[in-house]
Chain A
Amino acid sequence: MAEQRKTFHQELDEIRDEIVQLAALVSEFIPRGTELLLANDMRGALSLIEADDEIDALTLRIEEQCYHVLALQQPMASDLRSIVTAVWLTGELERSGDLMVNVAKAARRIYGANLDPRLRGLIERMSEEAARLMKLAIDAYVERNASLGAALDDIDDTLDQLHRDYIEAIFESHADHHLGLQPAVQLALIGRYYERIGDHAVNIGQRVQYMVTGWLPEQTGAARLRARADGEVDEGDTSSP
């Protein structure tokens, strides 16, 4: 029994290490995609798009491993939460990687467009902010730090604000005829990709919170519903006599 527990926890550790590796691949994608976008690097764009296969393969491997552990080990409550969290995290990470693939594809579409410095600066900052959020999310996961996980939602506000400034800057640049319609459209979409990576990081933070505490954000909604239901019963009670 002790022997089995040990291998089980080894398997859990392995899953965690692979999640960390997957997250590192995705986190590298963020500055890499931004650099190729700002440098008009078409070869870089192609190689990033191809490198996404590695992320997909690792995602599948982790997910299969999670199912394997679920089937063979009969994990208990908190371990069960860890495994389910790992499965969820693979989804969030893999989609974040896809978003940077989208950035690389958009970079190919706006090849040669002249981006003014302010736009470039905002893209750099959105990229840095998205990468920072992703790193914090993974720190929260590795350290099992529920409060950091929960804080990500507030930290994400910076990225949201940057995104608003960015949209405004695109408008100005387009209105001043510095920026053509097609590049403007692509740039607007690119901004959303970064913003969504931030959303994924926030989701990871919530998942970590769940892993550590067993608390789901949806429980607030569920509690509201119960409170409302109780309230209705109360009203019924008072009206009946």
Chain B
Amino acid sequence: MSPAASADGGPARQHYTAELEQLALQVEMMGVLVDQNLERMRDVLRGGDASTATQAVAADDRIDAMNVSLMERCYELLRREAPVASDLRLIVSVLRVTPELERIGDLALRVVKLQPDHELLVAVPRAFDVLETMADHAIDRYRDALRAWSALDLDLADRVAAEAPPGVAATQLVEALLAYGGTDGVAVTLRTMVAGQALDRIADHAAVLGARVRYLITGDPDHLAAEVR
């Protein structure tokens, strides 16, 4: 990630460029933290392990802390440097991207917090299968988005942004739940749907990340339009 290498660099200017590079790097680190928590989410979903769930909750505080510090950095830069063109684009992109990452972290945590009810989640095997597939899909989308960000890969960003929301999985999930005849049907459904919705939305947010990366690379407002499809 090399934002706006400026040729006319006095020491102050160089310092500024370095700060921008650091900013982009810190976003990537935050992205990795979120990635780790998504992995924990998948583990908890599969095995219902309580200690992994505790770890995830603690890690989310670090994600929150990074979000706050990134926002402060952005403000500092906007105030001090009055950035223009691609520098401004980077900073506003960071301002838009970090809340998305933070939200993805929150959604992962929402799934993790279902851990005490893990039995209910696995009660309908077909639905549970769908949940696992949804989790895999969401994490794949997220990783693509993160790679697009760090490599500034326009093609990859394009693909992530264009990915249609996976309505099929949500449909299959409800179908499986409706077919279930157990007495705890409603309890199972509510939990499973919370998980399904969170996983769905992680994929949604990943698509928004992709659109943001495209805008960052090209500066073309039409690429924002793709985000608001």
Residue positions of A touching B, CB distance < 8 A: 56, 59-60, 63-64, 66-67, 70-71, 74-77, 80, 84, 87-88, 91, 94, 98, 164, 167-168, 170-171, 174, 181, 184-185, 188-189, 192, 195-196, 216, 218-222, 224-226, 228
Q: Are B65 and A88 in contact (CB under 8 A)?
A: no
Contacts of A168 in B (CB 8 A): 186
Which A residues touch B62, using CB under 8 A? 225
Cα-based distance from A35 to B68 in the complex (angstroms): 42
For B88, B89, B174, B224, the residue with the greatest tally of chain A CB atoms inside 10 Å of its CB is B174
In the docked arrangement, what's the CA distance between A174 and B197, Å?
A: 21
Among A59, A87, A189, A195, max chain B CB count under 10 A is at: A189
Question: Would you call A94 and B228 a contact (CB within 8 A)?
Answer: yes
A220 to B78, CA, bound (A): 25
Q: B178–A59 contact, CB under 8 A? A: no
A-B CB contacts (within 8 Å), total count:
108
What residues of chain B lie closer than 8 Å to A164, measured between beta carbons? 190
Are A74 and B79 CB-contacts (below 8 A) given A56-B228, A188-B193?
Answer: yes
Interface flags for B47-82 (1: CB within 8 Å of A; 0: not) read 000000000001011111101110100010011001
Whether B11 sits at the interface, judged by CB under 8 Å, is: no
Question: What size tier do the contact residues of chain B reach?
Answer: 35 or more
Q: Point out the residue from A67, A171, A225 that lies within 8 Å of B178, measured CB to CB.
A: A171
A192 with B95: CB separation less than 8 A:
no
Binding site for A on B (CB under 8 A): 58, 60-65, 67-69, 71, 75, 78-79, 82-84, 88-89, 92, 95-96, 99, 102, 167, 170-171, 174-175, 178-179, 185-186, 189-190, 193, 197, 201, 208, 221, 224-225, 228-229
Which residues of B sit under 8 angstroms from A192, Cβ to Cβ? 170, 193, 197
Most A Cβ at <10 Å: residue of B96, B193, B197: B193
Q: A75-B78, A87-B92, A196-B201 are in contact. List 5 more A-B contacts (CB 8 A).
A: A71-B84, A87-B96, A98-B228, A170-B178, A185-B175
Q: List 22 A-B contacts (CB under 8 A).
A: A60-B221, A60-B224, A63-B221, A71-B88, A74-B78, A80-B78, A87-B92, A87-B95, A94-B228, A167-B186, A174-B178, A181-B179, A184-B178, A185-B171, A185-B178, A188-B193, A189-B167, A189-B171, A192-B170, A192-B193, A221-B61, A222-B69
